[in-house]
């Protein structure tokens, strides 16, 4: 992300991620290199990632590469371990239920726990680039708030509702070693893995040995 974006305007401490989405996403991916997607079974997906401690050009390049990889895979969110990098970073380019586009990234994200009176569950279908061609219904809160840092190490907060809230929760889960199928019943998880086995990914993946 450029210094101009840093950066970005904030509202009540939350990043404004709905402005200039097309230009920002394009700038990231034009600087980046697309990488194949790691899939369920790859060890990097099944453990907590390392905290980012160096906010340098390598981190900026990783973010650019993640945006490029996300576009190739036609995803709405991507965690660093999904391209084999053991660091707590995710990017997103995702609409909410009102069709408003949100584009950005979070370094070292922490999902804020909601009080019980704010937990309204949405049991929509969910999918994952690391479980290609599979989908399953999964109940998640319809509001999410993530605290983390930007590429310079400055504190940021991101919030979302509906589909975007699901994205924020899904990507944060990745960085702590959880796939969405880990939150399913054994039966539904087995069904999702069957869907994956029977399908053909539309993007490059890293085959598991």
Angle at 57 between CA 56 and CA 62, to 5 degrees: 105
CA 107, CA 15: separation in Å to the nearest integer?
13
Active site residue 171: yes
3-state secondary structure of 78: strand
User: Annotated catalytic residue: which of 8, 126, 171, 198?
Assistant: 171
Residue 175 has which token pair? 């960085």
Name the nearest CA neighbour of 127 among 196, 31, 63, 67: 196
E strand segments, 83-153: 89-95, 101-111, 121-122, 125-127, 135-137, 140-141, 143-149
Q: Which residues are catalytic?
A: 171
């Amino acid at each position: 992300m450029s210094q101009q974006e840093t950066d970005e305007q904030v509202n009540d401490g939350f990043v404004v991620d709905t402005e200039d989405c097309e230009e920002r996403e394009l700038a990231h991916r034009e600087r980046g290199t697309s990488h194949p997607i790691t899939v369920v079974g790859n060890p990097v997906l099944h453990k907590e990632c390392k905290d980012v401690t160096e906010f340098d050009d390598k981190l900026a390049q990783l973010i650019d590469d993640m945006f490029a990889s996300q576009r190739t895979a036609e995803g709405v969110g991507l965690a660093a371990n999904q391209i084999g990098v053991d660091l707590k970073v995710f990017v997103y380019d995702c609409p909410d239920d009102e069709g408003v586009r949100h584009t950005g990234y979070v370094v070292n994200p922490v999902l804020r726990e909601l009080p019980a009176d704010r937990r309204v569950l949405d049991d929509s279908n969910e999918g994952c680039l690391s479980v290609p061609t599979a989908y399953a219904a999964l109940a998640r809160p319809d509001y999410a708030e993530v605290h983390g840092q930007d590429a310079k190490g400055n504190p940021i907060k991101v919030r979302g509702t509906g589909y975007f809230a699901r994205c924020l929760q899904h990507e944060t889960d990745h960085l702590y070693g959880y796939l969405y199928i880990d939150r399913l019943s054994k039966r539904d998880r087995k069904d999702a893995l069957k869907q994956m086995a029977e399908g053909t990914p539309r993007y490059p993946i890293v085959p598991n040995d």
